[in-house]
Amino acid sequence: MNSNRKMQITELGLTARSYPEARAKAAKKGMELPSYKLLDRHFLKNFGSGIAKELLAHPEKGGVSQQDRDINDSITNLSIPASEVPRRAFGREGIGMVVVPKDGADGMETSGGRTWVHPQSIVVFNRMIQASHEWVPGKMHRSLGIPVAVSEEEFERLPEEEKRWLCRIAGEGVRPLVRVVDGLIRNGRRLVVAFYGAVSAFGVAGVAATAGGAEKTTGMARVHKPTRDEIKRFAGSAASAVQEIAGRVADKHLQPIRELIAAVEKL
């Protein structure tokens, strides 16, 4: 691939409340969800929101995944069969998994009230951030792009382009990787959201699907400035997210976000 060419994301003007819904809506347009690294690059320059094709899976914070036990998310209802999880992911503290489902119907099936994810690939990584329901600073993983845990001292020494913040849930999770950029939140272009369940709606972005499952290479999408309706839609999604985590996060941390949402809704 010519390194001087960039991959293009198309924002489809659609929203979804879950990973399967986003995946299906992109497919109906003849597209697929963008890779996380492409999504990251896109929202460093553009406004909007989008869901990556990868899922982030992990045991509960401070815990380990048990061998021969499926990985289940109680909110998203996404599950990964234990038989399809690499053995090195079991019994180890501080690990996370970046999961890419197989293409089409082979990648997801609904059975017994759950949506089963059949991975095309799973990358197991170390230094999964353990603190939950807050923005935790981390360093971009060299190959995956998502933030991993570092000390405060190491974080301060990082170049700005390597700094990211992750927000995850406390329990066992199989969650979409979401980016939301509305220009209202400090460091918003570098915030990686991995705690949303089935309440908030996000924009669906896509890339042209190819027979090999690779993303089509074209020119970078133009910078998009959000309309008033889009900003208010983002505010509505943020309000839903606050409602979802209320009771698990101290009110003093949520109040500034509520005030910001209220200000945006008056626009």
Instruction: Summarize pLDDT for 38-84 with one digit per residue, the tens.
Output: 999 998 988 888 899 999 999 999 999 998 899 999 889 999 999 99
**Domain locations in the chain as residue ranges:** 8-219
Long-range contacts of residues 26-29, Cβ cutoff 8 Å, at least 24 apart: 26/204, 26/205, 26/206, 27/104, 27/209, 29/206
User: Which of 161, 180, 143, 144 shows the shortest CA–CA distance to 49?
Assistant: 180
For 157, residues 6+ apart whose C-beta sits below 8 A from its C-beta are none
User: What is residue 187's predicted lDDT score, i.e. its pLDDT?
Assistant: 67
Cβ-contact 156, 60 below 8 angstroms: no
Give phi and psi for 135, each to the nearest 5: -80, 115
Beta bridge partners of 124: 97
Q: Which of 147-161, 162-176, 190-204 has the lowest mean pLDDT?
A: 190-204
Amino acid at 181: V
Residue 216 has pLDDT above 90, yes or no: no
User: What is residue 119's predicted lDDT score, i.e. its pLDDT?
Assistant: 97
pLDDT tens column, 74-111: 889 999 999 999 999 999 999 999 999 999 999 999 99
Q: How far is CA 113 from the centre of its chain?
A: 23
Average pLDDT, the chain: 84
Residue 39 and residue 160: Cα distance in Å, rounded? 18
Environment class of 67 (CB within 10 Å of its CB; exposed 0-12, middle 13-18, buried 19+)? exposed
User: What is residue 212's predicted lDDT score, i.e. its pLDDT?
Assistant: 47
pLDDT tens column, 171-197: 999 999 999 887 666 667 899 989 877
> pTM of the prediction?
0.77
Q: Which residues of 47-61 are buried (b: 16+ CB within 10 A; e: fewer)?
A: bbbbbbbbbbbbbeb
User: In the chain, count of helices (H) and strands (E)?
Assistant: 5, 17
Give the count of beta carbons closer than 10 Å to the beta carbon of residue 134: 14
Cβ-contact 215, 34 below 8 angstroms: yes
Question: Which pair of structure tokens corresponds to residue 260?
Answer: 């910001």
Instruction: Give the pLDDT mean for 200-227.
Output: 59
